[in-house]
Amino acid sequence: MCQLLGMNCNTPTDVRFSFSGFSQRAGNTGDHTDGWGIAFFEGKGLRQFVDREQASTSPIAQLIRNYAIKSENVIAHIRKATQGQVALENCHPFVRELWGFNWVFAHNGNLVDFAPKLHSHFYPVGTTDSELAFCWIMQELAKSHAGMPTLHELSITLQDLARRISPHGTFNFLLSNGQALWAHATTDLCFIERRHPFATAHLSDEDVSLDFSTCTTPDDRVAVIVTAPLTKNETWTPFEKGRIHLFEHGRLVALQ
């Protein structure tokens, strides 16, 4: 199946270090070679790059590894297809508009016999179970709230929706509207929060290290979410299964 990478920060941060290791799993250290994508929020604006080629050799992925785009919320995905052909329209992350915000979604898993009725203006362009699930979530959010609710209220709604989809199979996903980042796991997903005092991290998938103290301030906070740990010298925390996790300003927010 696919793999996910997310980053949530309290100040615009460069994701190149994490993406560099993550993209090696798409052809070098892993077989997630059926396309990839990444989306960066800049305020309410969004930069999105997707490619049907594998991320380890894609020229567009090389651009991302060299381009110091800074963002407070980033979602990336490398694909190993389970449903839907290898095609650009099936590459995650997917984007839709709701309440005047861009919403970005990426999914890792396989949903079986998931055929919800869509009757709003959210419809899939491609043929994946992932985009279908995203469209249904957007539809149900729009039905549940007349406008943008608080992040806590939104988290409660997302928890209910995830609980209704999860019986159909593996449902690990990342979702963001640029204000925060939500994560949900039924199998493998973990995270780390980096804050002062920053140390040196060593990637697991390539021989690259970075001393974060050289490119941060004492006030910086960065949360990184990924399917499998990106570094070999840091402690990554597994997600509690079946729960929505909300990240805001570079930290995990406790939900009641």
Cite the beta strand spans of the chain per DSSP E. Answer: 3-14, 36-42, 45-51, 70-78, 94-98, 101-108, 172-176, 181-184, 190-195, 200-202, 209-211, 221-226, 237-238, 244-248, 251-253
* Helix, strand, coil share of the chain (percent; to 5): 20, 35, 45
Q: Are 93 and 76 in contact (CB under 8 A)?
A: yes
Could you tell me if 187 and 253 are in contact, meaning their C-beta atoms sit under 8 angstroms apart? no
Encoded amino acid at 7, one letter? M
- The angle subtended at Cα 225 by Cα 176 and Cα 26, nearest 5°, is 100
Q: How far is CA 206 from CA 17, 25, 38, 229, in A?
A: 11, 10, 20, 13
Residues identified as active-site: 2
Q: With the CA atoms of 144, 150, 156 and 160 taken in that order, what torsion angle do they form, in degrees rounded to the nearest 10?
A: 30
